[in-house]
A and B are shown apart, each in its own frame.
Chain A
Amino acid sequence: MGHSDLPRDSCGGVRRCGGNLLVANATQPSESAVRRNARAVSEFWATFRASRKMLNKKR
């Protein structure tokens, strides 16, 4: 699945890059680990709820 959000993964336009490969590069410098984790948890629940809503709608 696509992972080409710049600047984290600026694939140079050649196309998207492999997901985990980006982990090997530096983390986003502008964001602390605490903020990054807090954001990820919040996005996790938002996506969990959104996907449930979409799947139930199509049932």
Chain B
Amino acid sequence: MRSELGTSGGVSDILSEPLYSRTEDGALDGDPLRLVAPTRRFSLERLALLLDGLPFEAEFPPECPWEGVVRHRPPLDLPPLGSSDESALREEFAAAVSRCLGDAESAVVLLSGGMDSWAVFVQAWEQTRREGRRLSAVVWNLRDQFGKATASLVHRQLRAVGISCDLHVLPAEWRALPEPLWSPLGPRHDYYTRLHQATVDHAHDIGATVLLSGQGGDEVLGAWNHLSGWLARGRRWRDLRHYLAAFGRGDSMVEVAGEAAALAVRRLPPQTSFQLYVATALRDVVNSGRPPVLTDPYRESVTEWVEDWLAARFASFRADGGDWATASLRDSIFPWAYDAHPLGAPIRQRSPFVDDRFVRYAFGLPPAARFRAEGPHPYQWYKALHLRLLPPALRPLLPEYKQSYSDAFRRYVLDVLPEGPLLVEELGLVRPMDRLDLERVHPRLPIVVRNVERWVAGALEAGAEPVTAR
């Protein structure tokens, strides 16, 4: 059993390596089964958090389902905004990629053709070439909202930057692919689980020991809410105008008013400021107004959990001085970054964006550096820092819009749940609903139900007992 945070493969792993703690004595271990009592019991209340309310809406990472064990998530000591040197971005990112590669002789990058995964790939390519290591790329051949196939985009991009590497294209034919094995760490919280498993299998087949991705690029380096004050202080009036206009066009006047309010909130009582922040920036996730999915006892337990979370979030908001820009960036990254990768994959998974040292550095960057209204494509304005990490030859072939794969996603969603009664329904966790009902409540709900269903089935098969709501 480990008594402190460890490392694996020579890389830091505070965020990327799940670690579990026994509530009774604080013992830590990477395998929660070594911490549970001889009678293995899992909590349906904790599984309920994946299915409804704020933790579902905001895609919070799963709590450890085992009774008496919790996920160990030590808080990161984050610097104040504006305290990091933005000229060191490339150097800091290169160091993060190097830590993610660790001592791997062969690595795979999951490449989507977008800016996040390309930033990772380019840096990993330079390093592995220099050091004589092997790097391959895997692309999932999804089609975006305009019918453009990811694989052909990546082919053109590779040609444009003169990189010739092994590129493995996975067709988005999930039915033919095997499901990932059950893991004691908890339910999967990714969506295309079979495509991910096929990626892992490919990585394994070619002898790779680490799978790199661009997970968290948007969250850690993208432009978020409440940058207006920083843009104004830097006298970047043109950028400020575009930044505010986009809120009005794409969101609502509430967001525009929120930008103005963020400048004056320090004069307000902390709780009023926090409530205004929540109502402005988090209203979709705090108060979604969706029909209930869980049965009443579990809905109540989720409500209690949300109340506790909100109280704890208010405490950290006060500790940060009640600054809305800090709060917005913190909420973009946490708690998601603690489990950015699918749980239970039998390979080391890393993203340099959620390397803990890089997260600390990026958090401290001057917030206004995240947005720059240059070029004809508004999407790229919000990724001003990403552009600094990419070769100029790639720019004409970068996505000009946020890639959306909604058609493929919808087909997948309607295909993912089997017909017939669900185990989670028999156990009294969810209300009787078929997959169309679930899809109507939220388009990704059938996948989440499927992930929970499969985990519960595996746990019961392993002889564990469910613990119902208190």
Contacts and interface: CB of A to CB of B under 8 A. Distances in A.
A-B interaction: yes
A23 B250 contact: yes
Nearest to A18: B218
B59 to A, nearest CB: 4
Nearest to B60: A2
A10 B405 contact: yes
Contacts of B336: 2, 16
Given A36-B252, A47-B286, A48-B275, A14 B382 contact: no
Given A13-B447, A25-B379, A54-B310, A18 B222 contact: yes
Contacts of B442: 5
B394 interface: no
Interface string B289-307: 1000000000000000011
Contacts of B105: none
A21 B215 contact: no
A2 B50 CA distance: 13
Contact of A6 (B253, B287, B444): B444
A15 B222 CA distance: 15
Contacts of A10: 145, 404-406, 409-410, 443
A50 B224 CA distance: 24
B365 interface: no
The CB with the most chain B CB atoms within 10 A, among A17, A20, A27, is that of A20
Contact of A7 (B217, B401, B406): B406
Contacts of B251: 23, 40
B287 A1 contact: no
Given A24-B379, A24-B382, A16 B59 contact: yes
Given A7-B406, A23-B247, A48-B276, A58 B191 contact: no
Nearest to A57: B307
A57 B220 CA distance: 33
Contact of A55 (B144, B192, B271, B378): B271
B412 A47 contact: no
Nearest to B342: A15
A19 B286 CA distance: 15
Nearest to A53: B307
B286 A51 contact: yes
B181 interface: no
B381 A24 contact: yes
Contacts of A16: 59, 336
Contacts of B142: 12
B329 to A, nearest CB: 11
A28 B410 CA distance: 17
Given A12-B142, A20-B225, A24-B250, A1 B331 contact: yes
B383 A1 contact: no
A16 B462 CA distance: 32
B279 A22 contact: no
B402 interface: yes
Contacts of B276: 48
Interface string B129-142: 00000000000001
A54 B190 contact: no
A40 B403 CA distance: 25
Interface string A22-38: 11110100000000110
B84 interface: no
Contacts of A57: 307
Contacts of A27: 249-250
B409 A13 contact: yes
Nearest to B257: A44
B279 A47 contact: yes
A7 B379 CA distance: 17
Given A2-B57, A24-B379, A51 B278 contact: yes
Interface of A: 1-7, 9-25, 27, 36-37, 39-41, 43-48, 50-52, 54-55, 57-58
20 contacts: A2-B59, A2-B60, A2-B285, A6-B406, A7-B406, A10-B404, A10-B443, A13-B191, A16-B59, A18-B332, A19-B222, A20-B246, A21-B382, A25-B402, A36-B252, A44-B280, A47-B278, A47-B283, A51-B275, A55-B311
Complex A-B, nearest 4 residue pairs according to Cβ-Cβ distance, in ascending order? A18-B218, A12-B405, A13-B191, A10-B406
Given A20-B224, A44-B279, A47-B278, 10 more contacts: A1-B282, A2-B59, A10-B404, A14-B215, A18-B219, A40-B283, A46-B283, A47-B282, A51-B274, A52-B271
